[in-house]
């Protein structure tokens, strides 16, 4: 597209007088169904450098066309290309109008199918999901990249473990990868492999800070998701969990030389769903914590072309307060993307992004300073810590982030392309925690100040050669390349207590030193890849290749690793061998792909036995065993096979279906040594390549455009995904439990399934008095279901009326999983918490002791039942189903099924209305959008949000709600102005 465009510009801006012996072609490019002009559409004469771009009215003119017969091709993003034979005679002007058909699923778009491989989507052999932000009503309502992607890609679940602004999250790609590692995909932004991790800093109870917070979702042009090893093999180890490729906005050579876009958004965050006063005695106190947190976002983007360069710059300011006090986010970001085409053979892309983040985080989760812990756990609120003291705690992350890349493409000869990319992601993060000295905090003597600093640099160097040439009547492509990656991370922290005035917060003025430490990581990865592709007229495609991979995390005795891959796809509708049935389709493609990838061992897993220092102790500083490594450790290996059928009926109805199976072997399992043997300080055991897990699933994406007329357009997208897995073996290692021993990784069961005892019933003494609970099989553990949804799906609707009003909605559902309401469990046990209304009433009926925290008025009128009576027995039967002690926690493992209306937006496009005003002819766009997020939720789960997790996103703990902040509801109103 680029060369044609450039030519078009050259022609537009330097018009010469038409010579008499040459002809002219002119016409309009319009949408086939709506008749709207398509400004920016390209019209070129195939095989020549002649062409033009359509103006705002969709008109184009190609002058100085030598007489002859040509193929005239019109193309535009999001539309199918159209072509026409024309004959031009000297001195004549001919008119050719095009009416382009919408390419609903971007079948003609080129998608990335692997490192350096790309094909038209119509023939892509792997399932690649492409999300183009042009199709979203992107109007400032997205705080983060994850909100943008969530629910829009079949087979990719994004779990936000809390409603914290800036909080971490977790990607669940397909069945979640293997047994080892974080299960997270590799993410590239414009060729830069970026840091996708969570940073804990000083705890706020369990939630962490996500390094993706710094990215500005408004900058994104498109997101491509390669979901598994079959597609990700050539990306090397870590491609196991898929690859996410983000492309940011670039100048789009429009007919205006400079294009300015401004957007302003206002809105607020608010509590979405209340805690139920029928459940929690103090629900109202918890609900009263929530507030309207204002949102403001202002963005300015400037783009244009100048000679053989193009530029895009944007500036974005976002200030947002959470729906709970102590939570806010302030992001300032700046982007400059620059493209140069110094010659036909060379193109240069420079991308740079800088952001400054300030993120205040609230205390919650498993934490005596938590807002929710102090309002939901006991009938007496602010029991653990005073409310003023909690509000006075400050915990702020500040991050400076630079993401930049230089990409040079050189085409030494026809069909050959050499591409080199250097990418850099540098982040410098500081976390400050302050407990002022004028309040009382457990464990802090006259206040505390903590400072944590982390700097992380990631470099990646990619070099690839791609050569396409005809072979045996096919188009053959050979791809070879190498990738290198370097990660360096340094961090340190210092903590002091005992401060004077709360007005002075310099850490130097703290009287008592508490702790200080530093950490350092350096890791490298490198690989070579080779791939051979054959493409028969975009009808038949097959390829094979491999990656040869190296990493510093492999044990020194492990060497290197090979990952092969192969794939195949066929356009059954194009082959012409098949019955007329296939004429019903625009597209009928079958595809099959196989690939292998892995998960890296931990940075030091491959080291021999290591000794590390003790903390400075009462005896001085000593050495202790710190890690039992394994010098033969190598990556876990996942083999994935995926097959699918994609078809599209004429008229814009289509379906993509994919089935996959993943077989993971050599999973790194830490052989926990018995504590008595002296397990390591850090790893707690010896890592070995012995685990196995199988996973499988299916993904369906369906789309339809039932109405598409000038005045009414409607599109519907629906997706459905099923995923499941079974742990096959841990190689003899003991079962792996989470910190509270609620979920397990155990052969024969799903990964991280809830695994706790089962309640049998009440036990009575001889007088019929309730004396406790009886567990099935003497308290043996049973499988209670997966915390990860087995079935997920989404429905998205986009309706455009009278060309000015657009309504979009996105809903998402998840089924077949469980969530532990540990908040309610914790307050349903003997002792003095007892904030669970029904539990308390039953305790009273059974004559059991009631904590002194509980106001007598709440229960003194409830009659105590007589042991032995039917009523008493019924109360006891019910009571054992409400006990929330650890052995009876089953009672609070609840169905987590939900449907959530994620987004609803209404846009009014006043552009054509305003353009009629004097002086406004150049107005490109004027759109007002009202949007809401998280507007509706239906679930049987009895806390406000079934998607939270008290321990953050990337953790072994899943689906455990323990005083965790639910996601907010968000309302925004924004104005978009384009000149």
Cα distances (Å, whole numbers) of residue 227 to 128, 529, 661, 685, 834: 7, 19, 12, 32, 46
Interaction with another protein in 872-891: which residues (CB under 8 A)?
Answer: 885-887
Among 278, 677, 778, 857, indicate the residue that binds another protein (CB under 8 A).
Answer: 677
Nearer to another protein, 57 or 614 (CB): 614
Interface map 422-461 toward another protein (x if CB under 8 A)? --------------------xx-x----------------
Nearer to another protein, 121 or 829 (CB): 829
Interaction with another protein in 491-530: which residues (CB under 8 A)?
Answer: 512-515, 518-528, 530
Please choose, out of 110-118, 297-305, 613-621, 945-953, the segment that lies near another protein by the rule CB under 8 A.
Answer: 613-621
Residues 464, 506 contacting (CB under 8 angstroms): no
Q: Is 969 in the site for another protein (CB under 8 A)?
A: no
* Closest approach of another protein to the CB of residue 685, in Å: 8
Interaction with another protein in 537-556: which residues (CB under 8 A)?
Answer: 548, 550-552, 554, 556
Q: Is 388 in the site for another protein (CB under 8 A)?
A: no
Q: Is 607 in the site for another protein (CB under 8 A)?
A: yes
* Closest approach of another protein to the CB of residue 501, in Å: 22
Q: Report which of 458, 616, 468, 618 is spatially closest to residue 532, judged by C-alpha positions.
A: 468
Tokens 């206040």 appear where? 447
Nearer to another protein, 334 or 534 (CB): 534
* Closest approach of another protein to the CB of residue 818, in Å: 19
* Closest approach of another protein to the CB of residue 749, in Å: 15
- How many residues make contact with another protein (CB under 8 A)? 88
| Alpha-carbon gap, residue 92 to 21, rounded angstroms | 9
Q: Token pair of 819, please?
A: 């969530």
Residues 515, 617 contacting (CB under 8 angstroms): no
Which DSSP helix (H) or strand (E) runs through 433? strand 416-435
Interaction with another protein in 815-844: which residues (CB under 8 A)?
Answer: 826, 829, 831-833
Across-strand partners of 900? 812, 937
Interface map 552-591 toward another protein (x if CB under 8 A)? x-x-x---x-------------------------------
Q: Which residues lie below 8 Å from residue 484, measured CB to CB, with a gap of 6+? A: 459, 460, 461, 462, 524, 525, 526
| Alpha-carbon gap, residue 40 to 77, rounded angstroms | 9
SS (HEC) of 176-232: CCCCCCCCCCEEEECCEECCCCEECCCCCCCCCEECCCCCCHHHEEEEEEECCHHHH
Please choose, out of 204-212, 291-299, 311-319, 674-682, the segment that lies near another protein by the rule CB under 8 A.
Answer: 674-682
* Closest approach of another protein to the CB of residue 682, in Å: 8
Nearer to another protein, 619 or 802 (CB): 619
Neighbour count for residue 434 (Cβ, 10 Å): 20
Q: Is 675 in the site for another protein (CB under 8 A)?
A: yes
Cα distances (Å, whole numbers) of residue 310 to 12, 249, 306, 348: 16, 12, 6, 10
| Alpha-carbon gap, residue 957 to 952, rounded angstroms | 8
The DSSP symbol for 37 reads: B
* Closest approach of another protein to the CB of residue 786, in Å: 20
In this structure, what are the phi and psi dihedrals at residue 298, rounded to the nearest 5 degrees?
-130, 130
Q: What is the number of residues in the chain?
A: 979
Among 622, 706, 748, 855, indicate the residue that binds another protein (CB under 8 A).
Answer: 622
Interface map 458-497 toward another protein (x if CB under 8 A)? -----------x-x--------x-x-x---x---------
Q: Is 718 in the site for another protein (CB under 8 A)?
A: no
Across-strand partners of 842? none
* Closest approach of another protein to the CB of residue 499, in Å: 16
Phi-psi region of 426 (alpha: psi -120 to 50; beta: other; left: phi over 0): beta
Task: Return the biggest CA–CA distance within the chain.
Answer: 115
Q: Is 849 in the site for another protein (CB under 8 A)?
A: no
Q: Report which of 152, 157, 190 is spatially closest to residue 171, judged by C-alpha positions.
A: 157
Please choose, out of 73-81, 603-611, 905-913, 937-945, the segment that lies near another protein by the rule CB under 8 A.
Answer: 603-611
Q: Token pair of 863, please?
A: 């009659």
Residues 899, 950 contacting (CB under 8 angstroms): no
Interface map 243-262 toward another protein (x if CB under 8 A)? --------------------
Residues 608, 626 contacting (CB under 8 angstroms): no
Among 141, 679, 792, 955, indicate the residue that binds another protein (CB under 8 A).
Answer: 679
Nearer to another protein, 19 or 611 (CB): 611
Nearer to another protein, 237 or 255 (CB): 237
The DSSP symbol for 738 reads: -
| Alpha-carbon gap, residue 908 to 922, rounded angstroms | 19
Nearer to another protein, 471 or 921 (CB): 471
| Alpha-carbon gap, residue 123 to 110, rounded angstroms | 10
* Closest approach of another protein to the CB of residue 676, in Å: 4
């Amino acid at each position: 597209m680029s060369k044609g465009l450039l030519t078009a510009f050259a022609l537009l801006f330097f018009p010469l007088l038409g010579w008499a012996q040459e002809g002219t072609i002119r016409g309009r490019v319009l949408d086939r169904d709506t008749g709207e002009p398509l400004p920016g559409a390209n019209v070129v004469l195939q095989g020549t450098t002649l062409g033009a771009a359509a103006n705002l009215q969709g008109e184009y003119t190609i002058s100085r066309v030598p007489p002859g017969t040509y193929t005239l091709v019109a193309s535009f993003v999001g539309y199918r290309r159209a072509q026409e034979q024309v004959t031009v005679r000297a001195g004549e002007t001919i008119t050719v109008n095009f009416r382009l058909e919408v390419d609903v699923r971007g079948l003609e778009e080129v998608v990335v199918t692997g490192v350096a491989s790309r094909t038209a989507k119509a023939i892509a052999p792997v399932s690649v999901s492409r999300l183009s932000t042009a199709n979203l009503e992107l109007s400032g309502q997205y705080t983060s990249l994850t909100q943008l992607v969530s629910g829009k890609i079949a087979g990719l679940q994004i779990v936000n473990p809390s409603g914290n602004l800036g909080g971490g999250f977790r990607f669940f790609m397909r069945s979640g990868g293997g047994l080892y590692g974080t299960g997270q995909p590799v993410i590239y932004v414009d060729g830069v492999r970026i840091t996708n991790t969570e940073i804990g800093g000083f705890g706020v109870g369990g939630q962490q800070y996500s390094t993706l917070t710094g990215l500005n979702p408004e900058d994104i042009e498109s997101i491509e998701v390669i979901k598994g090893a079959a597609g990700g093999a050539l990306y090397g180890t870590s491609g196991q969990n898929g690859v996410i490729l983000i492309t940011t906005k670039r100048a789009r050579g429009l007919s205006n030389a400079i294009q300015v876009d401004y957007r302003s958004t206002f809105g607020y965050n608010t509590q979405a769903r209340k805690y139920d006063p029928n459940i929690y005695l103090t629900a109202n106190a918890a609900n009263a914590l929530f507030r309207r947190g204002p949102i403001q976002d202002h963005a300015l983007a400037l783009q244009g072309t100048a000679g053989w360069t193009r530029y895009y710059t944007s500036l974005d300011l976002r200030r947002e307060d959470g729906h709970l006090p102590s939570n806010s986010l302030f992001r300032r970001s700046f982007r400059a993307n620059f493209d140069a085409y110094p010659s036909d053979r060379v193109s240069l892309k420079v991308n740079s992004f800088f952001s400054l983040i300030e993120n205040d985080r609230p205390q919650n989760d498993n934490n005596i300073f938590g807002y929710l812990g102090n309002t939901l756990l006991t009938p007496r609120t602010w029991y653990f810590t005073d409310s003023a003291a909690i509000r006075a705690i400050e915990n702020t992350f500040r991050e400076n982030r630079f993401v930049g890349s230089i990409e040079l493409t050189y085409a030494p000869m026809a069909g050959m392309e050499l591409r080199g990319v250097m990418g850099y992601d540098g982040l410098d993060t500081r976390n400050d925690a302050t407990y002022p000295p004028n309040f009382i905090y457990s464990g802090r003597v006259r206040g505390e100040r903590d400072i944590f600093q982390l700097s992380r640099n990631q470099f990646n160097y990619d070099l690839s050669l791609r050569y396409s040439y005809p072979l045996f009547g096919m188009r053959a492509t050979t791809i070879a390349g190498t990738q290198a990656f370097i990660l360096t991370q340094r961090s340190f922290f210092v903590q002091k207590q005992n401060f004077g005035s709360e007005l002075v917060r310099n850490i130097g003025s703290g009287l008592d030193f508490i702790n200080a430490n530093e950490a350092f990581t350096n890791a490298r990865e490198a690989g070579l890849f080779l791939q051979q592709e054959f493409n028969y007229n975009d009808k038949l495609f097959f390829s094979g290749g491999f990656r040869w991979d190296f990493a510093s995390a492999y044990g020194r005795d492990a060497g290197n690793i090979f990952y092969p891959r192969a794939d195949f796809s066929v356009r059954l509708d194009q082959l012409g061998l098949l019955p007329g049935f296939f004429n019903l389709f625009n597209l009928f493609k079958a595809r099959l792909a196989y690939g292998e990838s892995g998960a890296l061992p931990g940075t030091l897993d491959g080291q021999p036995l290591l000794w590390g220092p003790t903390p400075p102790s009462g005896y001085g500083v000593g050495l202790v065993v710190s890690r039992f490594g394994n010098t033969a450790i190598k990556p876990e290996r996942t083999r994935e096979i995926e097959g699918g059928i994609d078809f599209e009926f004429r008229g814009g109805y289509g379906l993509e279906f994919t089935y996959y199976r993943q077989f993971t072997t050599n999973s790194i399992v830490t052989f926990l040594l018995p504590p008595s043997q002296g397990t390591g300080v850090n790893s707690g055991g010896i890592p070995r390549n012995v685990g196995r897990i199988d996973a499988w699933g299916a993904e369906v994406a369906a789309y339809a455009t039932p109405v598409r007329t000038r005045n009414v357009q409607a599109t519907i997208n629906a997706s459905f995904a099923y995923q499941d897995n079974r742990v096959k073996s841990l190689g003899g290692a003991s079962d792996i439990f989470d910190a509270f021993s609620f979920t397990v990784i155990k052969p024969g069961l799903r990964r991280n399934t809830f695994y706790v005892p089962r309640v049998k019933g009440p036990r009575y003494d001889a007088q019929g008095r309730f004396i406790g609970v009886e567990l099935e099989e003497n308290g043996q553990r049973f499988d209670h279901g997966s915390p990860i949804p087995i079935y997920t799906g989404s429905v998205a609707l986009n309706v455009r009326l009278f060309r000015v009003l657009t309504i979009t909605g996105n809903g998402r559902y998840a089924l077949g999983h469980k969530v532990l309401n540990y908040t309610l469990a914790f307050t349903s046990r003997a002792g003095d918490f007892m904030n669970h209304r029904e539990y308390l009433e039953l305790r009273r009926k059974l004559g059991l002791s009631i904590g002194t925290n509980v106001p007598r008025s709440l229960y003194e009128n409830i009659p105590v039942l007589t042991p032995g009576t039917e009523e008493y027995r019924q109360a006891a039967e019910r009571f054992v189903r409400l006990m929330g002690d650890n052995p009876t926690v089953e009672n609070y493992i609840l169905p987590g099924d939900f449907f959530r209306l994620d987004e609803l937006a209404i846009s009014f496009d006043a552009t054509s209305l305003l353009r009629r005003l004097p002086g406004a002819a150049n107005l490109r766009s004027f759109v007002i959008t009202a949007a809401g997020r998280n507007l509706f939720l239906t679930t049987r789960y009895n806390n406000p949000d079934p998607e939270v997790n008290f321990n953050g996103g990337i953790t072994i703990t899943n689906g455990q709600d323990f005083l965790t902040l639910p996601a907010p509801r968000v309302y925004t109103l924004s104005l978009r102005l384009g000149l």
